[in-house]
């Protein structure tokens, strides 16, 4: 991504150099404006009656006429020029080119001609008609303009230089669109692993900016050549509103809990709702609000931008990790947005081109917000993994006997079925109560731990086995077993292992024996199999203890094996 940023910067510098050499005449300072109710009335207005004051563009008549006298030192006879302006949205337009010899050329510009003749960066071009005499003045009459920019942003530019600027800027904006696609893919890939709401808002915000760049630059007409001019205008403001609202939720969701003052977040959400409401009204395109609805939208964006920056600043003051990335990401864009809004409102004109600054801010936003998403994603993923590990540990603790480390009764009760090919052994330490009474509970606990250790040793070769301490001196083992004969051998092997390895001389604890009962699973419920094995174990105890007994497939107990 840094490489892409460097490439974009290279193109941007080249663009600035190309623009600096372009032979361009900005007509804004030369324009005088008048209003009328129809086309003929507007064209008939005497030049002396036109308004040349500072607030001359703030007119809301149905038809607006602008008149610009071309300076004599700007010779248009030797080179071919194009007239350009920001078309925004209008109903009809007439251009009248008046030459020094008194000849006139009239060009009717319908909205779709403005779409077909698009020029990168919210402009369109009309070739100045050829004439032997130099151009003396230009008159424009536009019907129902939706913004002041339609009248105000007029200029003359030499066609060759304009073609070079159009080509370079188109490449830059195309590259920017490609760069904006990257974080969307980035978010979608992240969401396949973990889904956080801020990634959704980041994807929506970036998508809105992508469509805004496509629309604002005019590249949309390459994709959809017949797209109405009014659609472009609505997309410009609509996607800007979408990106701004998504940015609000993105910032509030990404910042750590408790880092944003509640009052600030409420104010920010209120301004977001205001932007949405004003944009909805502007879509209705009501005649009394034709100009005001767009101005209101710009005015609504201004406090939203400032409050968004205030929220990030407040979070940064509270040591928010994410706020550092967001300040870098949104700082430039908010400044560029405020300057753009002030320029559109004719309140301030910076010494540099706002669109170029906005372009650099967009690149910074992509890099900064993507870094913020990545950093927050990793932090939350680590926190979630730790929580999952804690939950697993707590779950294991809940299912583990704290004394012996074996699975406990709760774990045994969670078993529903003893499957075919599995068997159950139930074992009970003989005369364990006497050990506790005569030797004390400490010795009793030592006996239990040692029995558990010996049972682990005995079943170490059967990885599918699980040993449970059911409570007191009672144990159970669920393990894979091919049939009753193997079950008998396993029960006797366990009994002998305990009998040989627990005793006063070996461990300093009393010699103990166990009685064992067993039953095959046969896919029966654990309750039924346990009842059979438990009956077999008590049969072994009744037969004299230190014995094993097996219940057959019908539940009958037999083959009691006597200990030596």
Q: Which residues are catalytic?
A: 473
Taking the C-alpha atoms of residue 203 and residue 322, their distance in angstroms, rounded to an integer, is 17
Check: CB of residue 146 under 8 Å from CB of residue 111: no
534-564: b or e for each residue (b if 16 or more CB lie within 10 Å)? bbbbebbbebebbbbbbbeeeeebeebbebe
Taking the C-alpha atoms of residue 45 and residue 37, their distance in angstroms, rounded to an integer, is 11
Q: Which of 194, 280, 276, 285 is nearest to 243 (CA)?
A: 276
Strand intervals (E) in 378-504:
417-418, 422-429, 466-471, 474-480
Check: CB of residue 176 under 8 Å from CB of residue 113: no
Taking the C-alpha atoms of residue 422 and residue 146, their distance in angstroms, rounded to an integer, is 80
What burial class does residue 488 get, using C-beta atoms within 10 Å of its C-beta: 0-12 exposed, 13-18 middle, 19+ buried?
middle
Check: CB of residue 271 under 8 Å from CB of residue 300: yes
In the block, tokens 């974080």 appear at: 183
Chain centre distance of CA 204:
7
Q: Which of 232, 233, 211, 215 is nearest to 282 (CA)?
A: 233
Q: What is the DSSP letter of 46?
A: -
Measured in residues, the chain has a length of: 564
Hey, how many other C-beta atoms are within 10 angstroms of the C-beta on 257? 5
SS3 of 253, please? helix
Taking the C-alpha atoms of residue 470 and residue 408, their distance in angstroms, rounded to an integer, is 6
Q: How far is CA 452 from CA 93, 384, 404, in A?
A: 94, 35, 6
Q: Which of 215, 222, 207, 210 is nearest to 177 (CA)?
A: 210
Hey, how many other C-beta atoms are within 10 angstroms of the C-beta on 256? 16
DSSP assignment string, 269-298: HHHHHHHHHHHHHHHH--GGGTTHHHHHHH
Helix (H) or strand (E) holding 558: strand 557-562
Say which residues have a Cβ less than 8 Å from residue 315's Cβ, sequence separation at least 6.
Answer: 255, 256, 259, 260, 322, 323, 326
Q: Is the dihedral of CA 464, 469, 473, 478 positive or negative?
A: negative
Q: Which of 66, 62, 29 is nearest to 51 (CA)?
A: 66
Check: CB of residue 161 under 8 Å from CB of residue 21: yes
């Amino acid at each position: 991504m840094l490489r892409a940023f460097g490439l974009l910067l290279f193109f941007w510098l080249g663009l600035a150099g190309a623009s600096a050499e372009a032979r361009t005449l900005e007509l804004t300072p030369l324009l005088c404006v008048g209003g009328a109710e129809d086309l003929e009335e507007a064209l008939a207005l005497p030049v002396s009656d036109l308004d040349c004051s500072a607030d001359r563009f703030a007119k809301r008549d149905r038809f607006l006429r602008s008149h610009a006298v071309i300076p004599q030192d700007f010779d248009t006879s030797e080179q071919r020029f194009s007239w350009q302006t920001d078309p925004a949205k209008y109903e009809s337009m007439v251009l009248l080119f008046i030459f020094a010899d008194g000849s006139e050329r009239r060009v009717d510009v319908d909205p779709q001609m403005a779409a077909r003749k698009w020029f990168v960066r919210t402009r369109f071009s009309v070739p100045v008609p050829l004439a032997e005499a130099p151009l003396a003045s230009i008159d424009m009459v536009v019907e129902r303009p939706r913004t002041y920019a339609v009248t105000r942003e007029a200029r003359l530019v030499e066609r060759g230089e304009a073609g070079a600027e159009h080509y370079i800027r188109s490449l830059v904006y195309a590259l920017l669109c490609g760069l904006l696609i990257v974080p969307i893919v980035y978010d979608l890939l992240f969401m396949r692993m973990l889904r956080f709401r801020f990634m959704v808002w980041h994807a929506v915000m970036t998508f809105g900016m992508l469509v805004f760049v496509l629309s604002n630059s005019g590249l949309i007409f390459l994709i959809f050549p017949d797209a109405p001019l009014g659609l472009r205008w609505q997309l410009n403001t609509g996607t800007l509103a979408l990106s701004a609202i998504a940015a609000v939720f993105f910032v509030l969701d990404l910042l750590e809990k408790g880092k944003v003052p509640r009052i600030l977040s409420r104010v920010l959400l209120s301004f977001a709702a205001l932007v949405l409401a004003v944009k909805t009204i502007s879509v209705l395109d009501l005649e009394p609000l034709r100009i005001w609805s767009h101005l209101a939208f710009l005015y609504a964006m201004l406090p939203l931008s400032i409050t968004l920056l205030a929220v990030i600043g407040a979070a940064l003051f509270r040591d928010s990790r994410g706020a550092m990335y967001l300040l870098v990401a949104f700082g430039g864009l908010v400044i560029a947005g405020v300057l753009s809004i002030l320029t559109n409102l004719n309140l301030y004109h910076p010494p540099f081109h706002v669109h170029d600054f906005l372009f650099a801010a967009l690149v910074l936003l992509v890099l900064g917000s993507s870094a913020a998403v990545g950093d927050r994603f990793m932090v939350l993923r680590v926190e979630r993994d730790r929580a999952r590990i804690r939950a697993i540990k707590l779950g294991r603790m809940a299912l583990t006997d704290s004394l012996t480390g074996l699975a406990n009764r709760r774990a045994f009760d969670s078993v529903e079925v003893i499957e075919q090919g599995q068997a159950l052994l139930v074992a009970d330490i003989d005369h364990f109560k006497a050990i506790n009474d005569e030797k004390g509970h400490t010795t009793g606990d030592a006996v239990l731990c040692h029995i558990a250790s010996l049972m682990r040793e005995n079943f170490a070769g059967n990885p599918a086995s699980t040993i449970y301490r059911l409570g007191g001196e009672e144990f159970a083992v669920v393990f894979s077993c091919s049939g009753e004969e193997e079950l008998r051998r396993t029960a006797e092997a366990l009994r002998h292992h305990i009998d040989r390895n627990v005793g006063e001389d070996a461990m300093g604890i009393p010699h103990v024996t166990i009685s064992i009962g067993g039953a095959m699973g046969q896919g029966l419920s654990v309750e039924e199999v346990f009842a059979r094995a438990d009956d077999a174990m008590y049969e072994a105890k009744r037969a004299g203890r230190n014995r094993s007994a097996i219940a057959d497939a019908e539940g009958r107990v037999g083959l009691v094996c006597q200990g030596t």
